[in-house]
């Protein structure tokens, strides 16, 4: 507000003109110290200009927020669809395929770029990396395969590796290792580090509760590195995109899934996951007295079940049978004392396409040992098997045309970091029972010899 002083006031001379905020000018007018001055056309024009500028800034800010929200919602809704359909070149950076229609098209673009035949703009937006030949730039022949195609390989691994899918996952976000706290009890009910229970019965008022420490241990998960190098001839690269994609995704995924299954069953724990068969918590159920060699009997399986332990009694959600495929012929003949079948092959029960034995799923694996050996049949609670991978890491896939340049081949490298261990490191004794219990049970030898 513009005012004129009616007399001298705080350094202001009489008739001096000043412009003050309304909340400061109004008290001066009310006390007669000053009087309001009518605004001139120039004053009004200036005020309108300031108002218009402020309104334009607010409108631009609101419009930008709305635009950003729309772009974000559209991008989320088009997940899995090439972002090139979204207006704006910046959205192309979010395309998980890198803008390529197939893995083969990407490979050809890298090859053309590296031989200096042409430059593909899509490659410039991609992060470049390769380790084996110190290739740190795309021009030197190394490039990461787009996320979408690497994720396809990872999905294939999950489909092939049933054990990986059912195990309990603990992603590692920082560093290369993770400590998982677990109860470290060797006898069921002994939860106090000094022996006995953590709790006590109080028989009178005012009785002090004695302090007790729970028994805990920790399982250390340390990522192990798995890698594969797949050379592909330049002829295949140039002539058949579809075959190239199948070769990389199928062969790479199957190889990784095969090695994961083997590690989770028979892994030594040295530079690879610790397999069930090498777990110190594994319990071996006794074979029948005088049992014929290379056989699996009804009483064998009942005996194995008597050694099974789950943290929550009756919780069989993670329990399954692992068996060598040669064992199925004997499962088919198993009957209980009343002559009822114990085994139902895959597809014989409409609601359960997976084979079942004693009502539990059966997973066949050639990584189990031959029939007659410990490890030909395993009863496992995979809720008690821990698997750690690098959080958000997935499968890293890169390619280089320089590694096998002299033989006219392009090398595809696959890297995966993973660890696996059983939760417990000892079997468990239980009250009023002579049977050791565990989440992992196998059967003693019945005349088998490892080949």
- The phi and psi torsions of 298 (rounded to 5 degrees) equal -60, -45
* E strand residue ranges, 30-153: 34-36, 142-144
Q: What would the pLDDT profile of 164-200 be if each residue is shown by its tens digit?
A: 878 888 888 888 888 888 877 777 777 776 777 778 7
| Predicted local confidence at residue 41, as pLDDT | 67
| Cα–Cα distance for residue pair 76/81, rounded to 1 Å | 10
Closest CA to 248 of 109, 398, 81: 398
Q: What would the pLDDT profile of 93-107 be if each residue is shown by its tens digit?
A: 556 666 777 666 776
Q: Is the pLDDT of residue 420 over 70?
A: yes
| Predicted local confidence at residue 134, as pLDDT | 33
Closest CA to 420 of 271, 284, 256, 217: 271
| Predicted local confidence at residue 222, as pLDDT | 92
- Checking phi first, is residue 15 left (phi over 0); if not, alpha (psi -120 to 50) or beta? left
Q: Domain ranges for the chain, please list them.
A: 2-77, 158-234+253-451
Which of 28-42, 148-162, 345-359 tops mean pLDDT? Answer: 345-359
Can you list the alpha helix ranges (DSSP code H) found in 222-251?
234-239, 241-246
Q: Is the pLDDT of residue 262 over 90?
A: yes
Q: Do residues 191 and 428 make contact, with C-beta atoms less than 8 angstroms apart? A: no
Task: Give the residue with greater pLDDT, 132 vs 383.
Answer: 383
Q: What would the pLDDT profile of 312-343 be if each residue is shown by its tens digit?
A: 888 999 999 999 999 999 999 999 888 889 99
| Predicted local confidence at residue 174, as pLDDT | 81
Max CA distance (Å), the chain: 124
* 3-state class (DSSP) for residue 159: helix
Residue 160 banded pLDDT, cuts 50, 70, 90: low
Closest CA to 220 of 175, 177, 280: 177
| Predicted local confidence at residue 228, as pLDDT | 82
Q: Is the pLDDT of residue 65 over 80?
A: no
Q: Is the pLDDT of residue 29 over 90?
A: no
3-state helix, strand, coil in the chain (%, to 5): 35, 25, 40
Residue 374 banded pLDDT, cuts 50, 70, 90: very high
| Cα–Cα distance for residue pair 81/49, rounded to 1 Å | 46
| Predicted local confidence at residue 327, as pLDDT | 96
| Predicted local confidence at residue 80, as pLDDT | 44
Any idea which residue has 């390619």 for tokens? 399
For residue 328, give every residue at least 6 positions away whose Cβ sits within 8 Å of its Cβ, in sequence order, or none: 343, 345, 355, 362, 364
| Predicted local confidence at residue 207, as pLDDT | 73
Residue 401 banded pLDDT, cuts 50, 70, 90: low
| Predicted local confidence at residue 83, as pLDDT | 39
Task: Give the residue with greater pLDDT, 264 vs 131.
Answer: 264
Residue 140 banded pLDDT, cuts 50, 70, 90: very low
Which of 109-118, 219-228, 268-277, 401-410 tops mean pLDDT? Answer: 268-277
Cross-strand partners of 218: 181
| Predicted local confidence at residue 347, as pLDDT | 74
Which of 18-22, 57-61, 146-150, 365-369 tops mean pLDDT? Answer: 365-369
C-alpha distances out from residue 91 to 45, 123, 145, 244, 445, Å: 43, 15, 19, 28, 61
Average pLDDT, the chain: 77
């Amino acid at each position: 507000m513009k005012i004129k002083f009616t007399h001298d006031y705080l350094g202001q001379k009489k008739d001096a003109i000043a412009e003050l905020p309304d909340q400061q000018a109004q008290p001066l007018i009310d006390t007669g110290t000053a009087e309001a001055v009518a605004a001139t056309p120039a004053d009004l024009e200036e005020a309108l200009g300031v108002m218009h500028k402020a309104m334009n800034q607010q409108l631009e800010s609101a419009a930008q927020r709305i635009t950003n929200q729309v772009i974000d919602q559209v991008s989320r809704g088009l997940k899995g669809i090439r972002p090139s359909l979204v207006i704006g070149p910046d959205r192309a950076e979010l395309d998980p395929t890198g803008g390529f229609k197939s893995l083969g098209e990407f490979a050809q673009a890298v090859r053309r770029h590296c031989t200096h035949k042409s430059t593909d703009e899509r490659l410039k937006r991609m992060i470049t990396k390769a380790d084996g030949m110190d290739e740190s730039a795309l021009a030197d022949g190394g490039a990461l395969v787009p996320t979408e195609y690497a994720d396809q390989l990872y999905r294939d691994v999950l489909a092939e590796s049933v054990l990986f899918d059912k195990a309990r996952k603990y992603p590692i976000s920082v560093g290369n290792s993770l400590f998982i706290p677990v109860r470290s009890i060797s006898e069921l009910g002994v939860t106090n580090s000094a022996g006995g229970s953590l709790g006590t019965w109080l028989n009178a008022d005012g009785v002090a509760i004695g302090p007790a420490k729970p028994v805990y241990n920790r399982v250390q998960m340390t990522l192990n590195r798995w890698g594969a190098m797949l050379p592909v001839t330049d002829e295949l690269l140039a002539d058949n995109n579809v075959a190239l994609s199948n070769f990389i995704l199928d062969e790479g995924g199957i190889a990784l899934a095969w090695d994961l299954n083997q590690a989770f069953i028979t892994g030594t724990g040295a530079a690879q996951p610790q397999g069930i068969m090498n777990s110190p918590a594994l319990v071996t159920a006794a074979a029948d007295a005088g049992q014929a060699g290379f056989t699996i009997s009804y009483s064998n399986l009942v005996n194995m079940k008597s050694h099974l332990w789950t943290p929550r009694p009756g919780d069989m959600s993670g329990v399954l049978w692992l068996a060598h495929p040669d064992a199925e012929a004997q499962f088919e003949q198993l009957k209980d004392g009343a002559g009822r079948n114990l085994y139902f092959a895959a597809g014989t029960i409409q609601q359960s396409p997976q084979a079942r034995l004693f009502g539990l799923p059966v997973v066949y694996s050639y990584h189990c040992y031959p029939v007659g050996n410990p490890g030909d049949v395993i009863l496992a609670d995979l809720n008690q098997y821990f698997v750690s991978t690098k959080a958000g890491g997935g499968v890293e896939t890169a390619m280089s045309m320089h590694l096998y340049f002299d033989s006219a081949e392009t090398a595809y490298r696959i890297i995966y970091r993973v660890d696996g261990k059983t939760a417990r490191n000892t079997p468990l004794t239980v009250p009023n029972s002579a049977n050791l219990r565990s989440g992992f049970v196998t059967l003693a030898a019945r005349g088998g010899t490892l080949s």
